Structure 1
Amino acid sequence: MLRIGIVLYPGFQLLNLAITSVFEFANITARERLYEFVLLSESGGPTLASSGLEVITRPFDGQTFDTVLVVGDNDVMPATPALTDFLRASASTARRVGATCTGTFNLAQAGLLDDKRVTTHWMHVAKFRREYPRVKLEDDRIFVIDGSIWTSAGATACIDLALALIEKDQGIDLARLVAKKLVVYHRRAGGQSQFSAMLDMEPRSDRIQKALTYAKRNLNTELSVGELASAANLSPRQFSRAFREEIGQTPAKAVEHLRTEAARLMLESGRHPIGTIAKDTGFGDPERMRRAFLRMYGLPPQVIRRERRIAPDALLKT
């Protein structure tokens, strides 16, 4: 049985505790106690979350764990000396040390991340880079693994991190079954963007919004600047200037992002040949789609498909 120490402190973000459900369902699915997770805090006892709910914790008392994870909060509160000491000690005794959301700041404050690749919540990237320039922050990743250091982005990315831990420990089949029972995708690839392409585009004007909506509905066509400008009732020159001002990127780059996201969803939800997906999403050929995937997700389509394969029906009967 592997012991997981989950470190909390006053003001922690409650959503981070979703990781406990992932380990709980690993035990339920395997029908044996693969994991014991222990909620820890500096003094033990009730620990208040940012939402006002209290969680009962055990104190730091010299316990050792296979894995230690420190959770994040809403305001990037500095770690106390006791928390920093505990994380440093854990780095020398635990097989893995990690963080969810802004918990990455606590690991950095403890001096555990210099020259390491990590991620954190996208809202706090600038602050992290200012304070910890020696850390290799990958600011648009769901989770990052660098040796014994595991870190995830904000909010629900902690679930992806926990599923990745289970996959590493117990194998991909169990991780898939746990994800299915939790009614989530089998974990998103660590290299996947923290953002949805469409959600990340927030036009101020109805005209640019119309162009984006038109693009999303017609991804299998060429989608030239002239075509998008016509949908927005603007000249190509006016459209290109307005689009870049409002979206912060060229129409061509925005269309590539929409195509890539649509292709990824097709990869995850079906068994279409990659060539068919490339054609239906407007890439035209698999190589062009592969290059776009590498730019956006850091992984080629084949790898993303392999990580999303549906488990055989026999494995689902638990």
Structure 2
Amino acid sequence: MLKTVAVVLVEGVAPFELGVICEVFGIKRDSPEVPPIEFRVCGERPGEPLRANVGFGLTPDYGLDGLVGADLVALPACDTREVYPPAVLEALRAASARGATLLSVCTGAFVLGAAGLLDGRKCTTHWRHADAFAARYPLAELDPDVLFVDDGDIVTSAGAAAGIDACLHVVRRELGSAAATLIARRMVVPPQRDGGQRQFVELPIPECTGDSLAPVLTWMLENLTVEHTVAALARRANLSERTFARRFAAETGTTPNRWLSTQRVLHARRLLEDTPLSVDEIARESGFGTAALLRHHFHRVVGVSPKDYRRTFSKCVEVLPG
């Protein structure tokens, strides 16, 4: 049962992610579906303002002893740094040992990692910080493709709005679907989103490290609808098939077929965003031929279906008559 929630502030806290936690757990709902939750905002020095990452101060009412007795301890995003306050890390370790559930939003996972609480645990963080996180906490089992990870007594989320998904998931898990649905409706957000954060990741066109295959790569991009075989591409590059395949892998980091399918997905993604073409038409325009093949490769690269991606990212607004 979720009766007490303590949120921990450190220097450089992100107000939006803090606001998400406050909105889900800190507001009295006056509804039988959502029982009262005691909400504590805690810091190392209660009553002293902490700098937020956008230029103003936030003052915690409770000290770190406010974590004692909390069912859920939440960490909003904050600036990443080499060292976090030792007292905060010890308080988190003690809360975990007492059986509290720990929840991080975005870069809040770095604080849990610094406390040693993610070693051998499944977790996630914002995709832009995934490489830095993996390098700093190599024992953590990072999944950068999902919106959140529920690993029992530790729940971690990806960036910003994914914190809403994680918080509502905790409400659903601890208080039931009716409570999560009511809070989501009041927040005007879906109770549960599909897909992961791969759909939000920027996917630049992979560049080769040398220039020997640049003309071939450019020609492939200009002819995505053509069926490209390794033999034909090798002839265009004036190389043997074996040499071409080896050099292609060295310069792009992948195989010709996989590189081409990724470029076709990127082109399809742009068409889904910028045009009203049907999925069948986009499949033909991007070189996949059929909608089924497009859906297969698109889901592999982006993590959601073309239809779901268009619903989220399309720039085209349908104008209804009248």
**Distance in 2 separating the partners of 1:282 and 1:256:** 6
Query: Structure 2 regions of 5+ residues with no counterpart?
Result: 208-217, 229-235, 238-248, 313-322
**Distance in 2 separating the partners of 1:162 and 1:259:** 34
**Change over 3 Å in CA distance of 1:185–1:23 after alignment to 2:** closer
Aligned with 1:111: secondary structure?
Answer: coil
Deviation at residue 275 of structure 1 after TM alignment: 9.6
Aligned with 1:61: secondary structure?
Answer: helix
**Change over 3 Å in CA distance of 1:255–1:48 after alignment to 2:** same
**Distance in 2 separating the partners of 1:92 and 1:154:** 27
Aligned to 1:129: 134
**Which TM-score applies when normalising by structure 1?**
0.64
Of 47, 59, 63, 2:63 maps to: 59
**Distance in 1 separating the partners of 2:300 and 2:250:** 23
Aligned to 1:15: 16
Deviation at residue 261 of structure 1 after TM alignment: 5.4
Aligned to 2:5: 4
Aligned to 1:144: 149
**Change over 3 Å in CA distance of 1:83–1:2 after alignment to 2:** same
Aligned with 2:65: secondary structure?
Answer: coil
**Distance in 2 separating the partners of 1:264 and 1:36:** 45
> Any conservation in 1 of the 2:125–2:156 contact (CA below 8 Å)?
yes
Larger radius of gyration: 2
Percent of aligned positions that are identical: 27
State the aligned residue count. 277
Query: Structure 1 regions of 5+ residues with no counterpart?
Result: 204-210, 216-220, 226-235, 238-243, 266-271, 309-318
> Any conservation in 1 of the 2:265–2:294 contact (CA below 8 Å)?
no
Aligned to 1:187: 193
Of 243, 260, 266, 1:252 maps to: 260
**Distance in 2 separating the partners of 1:263 and 1:170:** 40
Deviation at residue 82 of structure 1 after TM alignment: 0.8
1:189-245 residue CA offsets vs partner (Å, 9 max, x unmatched)? 446544155xx4599xxxxxxx9xx99xxxxx94767xxxxxxxxxx87xxxxxx99
Aligned with 1:5: secondary structure?
Answer: strand
Q: Which segment drifts farther, 91-100 or 251-260?
A: 251-260
**Distance in 1 separating the partners of 2:171 and 2:262:** 35
**Distance in 1 separating the partners of 2:50 and 2:76:** 13
1:89-141 residue CA offsets vs partner (Å, 9 max, x unmatched)? 11123442121222212112212111111112333333322322211112333
**Change over 3 Å in CA distance of 1:99–1:10 after alignment to 2:** same
Aligned to 1:316: none
1:152-208 residue CA offsets vs partner (Å, 9 max, x unmatched)? 2233332222232233343164465245x25x78435446544155xx4599xxxxx
Of 166, 176, 182, 1:170 maps to: 176
> Any conservation in 1 of the 2:105–2:157 contact (CA below 8 Å)?
yes
**Distance in 2 separating the partners of 1:29 and 1:287:** 48
**Change over 3 Å in CA distance of 1:36–1:257 after alignment to 2:** farther
> Any conservation in 2 of the 1:144–1:150 contact (CA below 8 Å)?
yes
Aligned to 1:39: 41
> Any conservation in 2 of the 1:142–1:193 contact (CA below 8 Å)?
no
Aligned to 2:114: 109
Aligned with 1:69: secondary structure?
Answer: strand
**Which TM-score applies when normalising by structure 2?**
0.63
Aligned to 2:162: 157
**Distance in 2 separating the partners of 1:11 and 1:173:** 32
**Distance in 2 separating the partners of 1:48 and 1:296:** 39
**Distance in 2 separating the partners of 1:297 and 1:95:** 35
1:87 paired with 2:92, answer yes
**Distance in 1 separating the partners of 2:86 and 2:250:** 46
Structural RMSD (CA)? 4.9
For 1:187-226, list aligned pairs within 5 A. 187-190=193-196, 192-197=198-203, 200-201=204-205, 222=225
Q: Which amino acid aligns with 2:106?
A: C
